[in-house]
Chain A
């Protein structure tokens, strides 16, 4: 690390949990941010500023006027431009030590595996339920840690899926099966900018902590209510019959308990949900 970088990151290096070695290790990490909207623009900004070495930003959408109250990286002159490219250009200019690549194709079956396989970590900042299921599936298949957060109205949810180090906590699909009904999206129920900021900061913090092995972020679902200002925490559980992480958990050597084996799957998951946005 050169002297300027040492000064730049001095407040992070000062932390016992980070230190110079932690800062070095951040600079060698490649993080994929899927969705560069409310959460994604803030999370990628935080990670680039913190010294993550490589970022890949994935988004096929363009900046819209209604994005600007919460997507602080963008302004009026960006309307109509690609979010992934605009974010890449602005962040690369501000944080030259971060190598940033943009992908403007929609994340999906054609490119999902190759994108996720590049990553040390994936951050899910997408704005719809089918995309979240896809991101989870590719991350579980590739054994990549996934930090998933979401926000709408005054509700936020965040947790980490790590099939490699915490298979007993299951995956996104264990908690929210594919046939779950989704009622709340930012487009349908609205959201305040700071509410998005709360969840994005939590997501960036959870990502950095996980990359540096700080704390025990995995295995916990955190939910925030922005009206009552209450956080709630619950331990995640694996669905032994989950058709996304079930096989992978076995491969990675996680054995089901007798209790789990006695539970039967009660419904066949239908591909019945539709994109709300």
Chain B
């Protein structure tokens, strides 16, 4: 999984700072979790999301908005044994 900083026109969009896997990111303040994943080029069905140490199930990704200071952990399922 590669995270890239999305190009953002700071003059026209209010921004917030969140962290994703311990790295700070400046994002548009209106982003949903789904929007955050898409902006980072992360396929929706490739990861699970934890926000502030609580799992956010996939059904909530469209509705839940990112807010200033949110700490996200984004990771893939590990299936080996």
A associates with B: yes
- Chain B residues with CB under 8 Å of A152's CB are 78-80
10 closest cross-chain pairs (CB), A and B: A152-B80, A239-B57, A186-B80, A127-B81, A234-B50, A129-B79, A237-B55, A181-B46, A150-B78, A185-B80
- Chain B residues with CB under 8 Å of A179's CB are 45
Could you show 25 A-B contacts with beta carbons less than 8 Å apart? A38-B80, A151-B81, A152-B80, A153-B78, A155-B75, A175-B57, A180-B46, A180-B77, A182-B77, A183-B46, A183-B76, A186-B80, A191-B80, A221-B50, A232-B50, A232-B73, A234-B50, A235-B55, A237-B54, A238-B57, A242-B57, A264-B63, A266-B34, A266-B58, A267-B58
B59 contacts A by Cβ under 8 Å: yes
Number of A-B contacts (CB under 8 A): 112
Q: Which residue of A lies closest to B79 (CB)?
A: A129
**Is the pair A236, B55 in contact by a Cβ cutoff of 8 Å?**
yes
Q: Give the distance to chain B from A239, nearest Cβ to Cβ, in Å.
A: 4
Q: CA–CA, A215 to B77, complex, Å?
A: 26
Q: Give the distance to chain A from B20, nearest Cβ to Cβ, in Å.
A: 13
Question: What secondary structure prevails in chain B residues at the interface with A?
Answer: mixed
B5 contacts A by Cβ under 8 Å: no
B53 contacts A by Cβ under 8 Å: yes
Q: CA–CA, A197 to B48, complex, Å?
A: 24
Instruction: Choose from B43, B56, B81 the contact partner of A237 (Cβ within 8 Å).
Output: B56
Interface string of B21-49 (1 = CB under 8 A from A): 00000000000001000000001111010
Interface string of B58-81 (1 = CB under 8 A from A): 111111000000000101111111
- Chain B residues with CB under 8 Å of A176's CB are 48, 77
**Is the pair A177, B78 in contact by a Cβ cutoff of 8 Å?**
no
- Chain B residues with CB under 8 Å of A242's CB are 57
**Is the pair A184, B58 in contact by a Cβ cutoff of 8 Å?**
no
Q: CA–CA, A191 to B80, complex, Å?
A: 9
**Is the pair A234, B55 in contact by a Cβ cutoff of 8 Å?**
yes
Q: CA–CA, A149 to B45, complex, Å?
A: 20
